[in-house]
Amino acid sequence: DGGITQSPKYLFRKEGQNVTLSCEQNLNHDAMYWYRQDPGQGLRLIYYSQIVNDFQKGDIAEGYSVSREKKESFPLTVTSAQKNPTAFYLCASKSGGLPETQYFGPGTRLLVL
């Protein structure tokens, strides 16, 4: 069954703690993306990766870090530098080239204790 999985579904972070959100895809897609959604807001791009071992900052990269060591995996770390981490985090992927349709995982809700 092809798709994008994100884990965990809910994640709690304590003050000063780094947490890592997992994103895995078995669609053989080249590009992967991380978005953040806040209530009443659209999706804002945090980081993206077009190929393995390469990634680029999106619009709101401060306080986040990523890695892309494998084609299937694109984990996102929310660092203690991110002062307002409570949000719904979405991972997406798309195949290389056209069209630009991105396919999304189920999301992870991050809450701060």
Partner 1 sequence: DQQVKQNSPSLSVQEGRISILNCDYTNSMFDYFLWYKKYPAEGPTFLISISSIKDKNEDGRFTVFLNKSAKHLSLHIVPSQPGDSAVYFCAASARTGSQGNLIFGKGTKLSVKP
Q: Which of 40, 54, 83, 113 binds partner 1 (CB under 8 A)?
A: 40
All residues at 6 or more sequence positions from 47 whose CB lies less than 8 Å from its CB, including other chains: 33, 34, 55, 56, 57, 58, 61, 64, 66, 76
Q: Is 95 in the site for partner 1 (CB under 8 A)?
A: no
Bond before 8 cis per omega within 30 degrees: yes
Q: Which of 27, 43, 61, 112 binds partner 1 (CB under 8 A)?
A: 43
What residues make contact with partner 1 under the rule CB under 8 A?
A: 4, 6, 31, 33, 40-45, 48, 50, 56, 58, 88, 90, 92, 94, 98-107, 109
